[in-house]
Amino acid sequence: MKPDLFAALQPAIDGEWMVRVLREMILIRSENPFDEPPREGFREQEMADYLAGRLSDLGAAVEAREVRPGRPNVFGLLKGKQGRTTLMLAGHMDTARTDGYADAYAVRIENGRLHGRGSCDMKAALAAYLGVLKALRDAGVRLEGNLIVCGIVDEEYQMLGSKAIGRSGRMADQGIIGEPTRLRVCPANKGRVSTKIITRGRAAHSSVPETGVNAIEKMAKVIQAFGDYNAELLARPGHPLCGQGRFTPGVIRGGVQVNMVPDHCELEVDRRTLPGESQESVYAELHARIRRAAAGDPDFAYEITAPTWLIAPNDISPEEPVVAALRKGHEAIFGHDPGVEAFVAGSDAPYMGFPTVICGPGSIRQAHTTCEFVELEDVLGAARLYLYAALELLGG
């Protein structure tokens, strides 16, 4: 970075403009459709159109790539003078649902906080990315390297958008995803394997239960088999940032009516995984514990379904240039090095196909709640931090 370039560019970051853009994006309903057919309000198309328009207005070359009908990833490229290095600023355009959230789209500012669905998770980061492009345009600065701003579909469910990016080949050298971390720098996060364990029995009338096989009683053995699983996980060597894995039985269903021996019971479980763990290693542990519980019981029958949720852990080196650039930016802007830590949730980062760090405005505590908000100070801080990282990595 040229000496004093960042200091000269900071005044070009337009906080009021970013707030206006963020308001407009929140008012574009883009809730994830999950397993329902995508439709207006429950897809990313309208957000993608808005983002593409803003990117084009700011001088980026725009491309949309449809992942599913009505659900395109959007890319805006600022081509650098040399183009040897490419940084991608990426974020998802879909939001959590708004069930029970009566004023989800009554966007308002109170006490320095902007409220509304998607405010922190994660349209605030998209607004900050656009703020960086506007600052560069308004100051007439062209970077040496390439800068891409990317809007991604389907982060809230199956990560279809980021998986499509990863399959398309290495699009960038380094990446930032602005999930809400309160601007902490997070090069790692746990993954997730969720699945259903099903026990099978034989139906019978409850007046003669001995003629049947009670699937709920078999499930009781399964539950007992995992009673000390978390203690085992906590005793294992952990990841330096993510700590230890965790196991939670979350949902149980079984039986049809009370006077009938149930022939089916299912338990949905959630296993938070560390970098280096996989679906296969988790399933092997689940099977081993259940088989020990079933030993000596000829009537014990069970299955483990395909994952109901499968999210990979992220683990990039704390020495990656993008991590170093964000930490250096913290020192320049906020006066301290925040170090590195793990992001507490899943993200698109492990699927992008290049080293990607999580760092963004807002707190994960507000994500998915019925009182979602972002501190406007965080949005401005994010834009400053992303601008610093872009100048550091791409030159100007």
What pLDDT, in 10s, does the model give residues 185-241? Answer: 999 999 999 999 999 999 999 999 999 999 999 999 999 999 999 999 999 999 999
- Residues 152-184: tens digit of each pLDDT: 999 999 999 999 999 999 999 999 999 999 999
- What's the distance, CA 113 to chain centroid? 22
Residues 84 and 99 in one domain: yes
Which residues, at least 6 apart from 69, have a Cβ–Cβ distance to it below 8 Å? Answer: 38
pTM of the complete model? 0.93
Confidence of residue 4 (pLDDT cuts 50, 70, 90): confident
Q: Does the structure show a pLDDT above 90 at 1?
A: no
Provide the greatest CA pair distance for the chain.
85
Mean pLDDT of all residues in 251-270: 97
Instruction: Output the CA torsion sign for 38, 39, 43, 47.
Output: positive
Residues 57 and 176 in one domain: yes
What's the pLDDT score for residue 396? 75
Residues 204 and 170 in one domain: no
For 210, which DSSP code? G
For 286-297, the DSSP string reads: HHHHHHHHHTT-
- Residues 106-145: tens digit of each pLDDT: 999 999 999 999 999 999 999 999 999 999 999 999 999 9
Confidence of residue 83 (pLDDT cuts 50, 70, 90): confident
What's the pLDDT score for residue 207? 97
Closest CA to 183 of 35, 357, 9: 357
The residue behind tokens 């309160």 is: 182
Q: Which domain holds residue 256?
A: 191-310
Cα–Cα distance, 306 to 308 (Å, whole number): 6
Closest CA to 150 of 186, 177, 187, 124: 177
Residues 343 and 389 in one domain: yes
Please give the backbone phi and psi of residue 145, each rounded to the nearest 5 degrees, phi first. -95, 180
Cα–Cα distance, 34 to 20 (Å, whole number): 29
For 197-263, the DSSP string reads: EEEE-B-EETTSGGGSB-HHHHHHHHHHHTTTHHHHHHHS--BTTTB--EEEEEEEEE-S-TTEE-S
Say whether the peptide bond before residue 122 is cis (omega within 30 degrees of 0). yes
| The last residue of a domain, from among 310, 335, 363 | 310
The H-or-E segment that residue 131 falls in is: helix 124-139
Residues 87 and 221 in one domain: no
CATH number of the domain enclosing 48 = 3.40.630.10
CATH number of the domain enclosing 306 = 3.30.70.360
Q: Does the structure show a pLDDT above 70 at 278?
A: yes
Q: Report whether 359 contacts 183 (CB < 8 A).
A: yes
Q: Report whether 150 contacts 89 (CB < 8 A).
A: yes
For 42, which DSSP code? B
Residues 211 and 169 in one domain: no
Pairing of strands 146-152, 260-261: unpaired
Residues 275 and 336 in one domain: no
The residue behind tokens 């990833």 is: 73
Residues 249 and 366 in one domain: no
Cα–Cα distance, 224 to 11 (Å, whole number): 61
Helices (H) and strands (E) counted in the chain, each on its own, are 10, 19
Mean pLDDT of all residues in 310-339: 97
Mean pLDDT of all residues in 304-317: 96
- Between the CA of residue 271 and those of 42, 117, 198, 199, what are the distances in Å? 28, 28, 16, 19
Please give the backbone phi and psi of residue 394, each rounded to the nearest 5 degrees, phi first. -110, -15
Structure tokens, 216: 């709920």
Q: Report whether 180 contacts 113 (CB < 8 A).
A: no
Residues 90 and 231 in one domain: no
| The last residue of a domain, from among 310, 336, 355 | 310
Residues 324 and 212 in one domain: no
Cα–Cα distance, 31 to 206 (Å, whole number): 45
Mean pLDDT of all residues in 263-278: 97
What's the pLDDT score for residue 373? 98
Q: Provide the domain count of the chain.
A: 2
- Residues 18-68: tens digit of each pLDDT: 999 999 999 999 999 999 999 999 999 999 999 999 999 999 999 999 999
In percent, the amount of the chain with pLDDT more than 90 equals: 98
Cα–Cα distance, 163 to 168 (Å, whole number): 9
Instruction: Output the CA torsion sign for 372, 377, 378, 380.
Output: positive
| The last residue of a domain, from among 266, 294, 310 | 310
- Residues 84-111: tens digit of each pLDDT: 899 999 999 999 999 999 999 999 999 9
Residues 123 and 156 in one domain: yes
What's the pLDDT score for residue 3? 65
In angstroms and rounded to an integer, the radius of gyration of the C-alpha atoms of the chain is 24
- What's the distance, CA 292 to chain centroid? 36
Which residues, at least 6 apart from 303, have a Cβ–Cβ distance to it below 8 Å? Answer: 197, 198, 200
Structure tokens, 67: 């992942």
Q: Report whether 264 contacts 197 (CB < 8 A).
A: no
Closest CA to 139 of 78, 200, 94: 78
Residues 10 and 109 in one domain: yes
